[in-house]
Structure 1
């Protein structure tokens, strides 16, 4: 995801970092590392430059904390007590019939991708309070098997 953002937004004056420490470990509390932090420079109508930041928490659809991590991890840990108040909850939705059968996939068949989008977007709206703004994005990353018509059977 980091490489994708850098490649697609190359001329936008931004910095994309992975596993960024946003708070160092202190005696009274543990440090925090976020999946991705994007910082961009913007110019106000008055000509002043300001930094815009967003913290991106990335999950796969199999993650056990999928339905609670937006609140517990992104909002209550990463956006709390930090200058960055904008977050994106990015979920890769890989559930499909072609999933590797050697690995259990708890989400397969449980929730369709469109329903997951609805649920997570509603949760993001609920969590967006005051300066804290959260968005959810579910990326449909399911493997698509190519459906080819069966070869015509001719007479031999």
Structure 2
């Protein structure tokens, strides 16, 4: 589900929510339950378990503000939050990968607002994972987890005609 709204002429809002209950409905496969301390347990059937690496809940919300032209003509800022719910590391749900929240910000400049000869030219600078949060992005079993991307600053220049 998603929502896009122009709250005012200068302020735009974008939000989305995903709920996914992906389970193994019919499977004759099984695996040994693994524990964080390295020990293993009994054999567990995959049937009815949640599919690994797929979060049940994901939410994001972003605002984009471009001040009225009489102030900073063509300049705008944006920011938002992303949430990814917990996942499981394997098909028998041995280990739960924790949920995490990330914050992003950015700024953009529309050159065409200030210079008509540059209509269509836009620059953007963004920072993802603003707080440089340390998080586990996913796991491929009990012993092979992957650290999420740290703070990233990137920019782009685009032209639309």
Bucket of the pairwise TM-score, normalised by the shorter protein: 0.3 to 0.5
Structure with bigger helix share is 1
Greater strand fraction, Structure 1 or Structure 2: 2
Q: Given the two structures, how large is their TM-score scaled by the length of structure 2?
A: 0.33
When Rg is computed on C-alpha atoms for both structures, the one with the higher figure is: 2
- Normalised to the residue count of structure 1, the TM-score between the two structures is 0.34
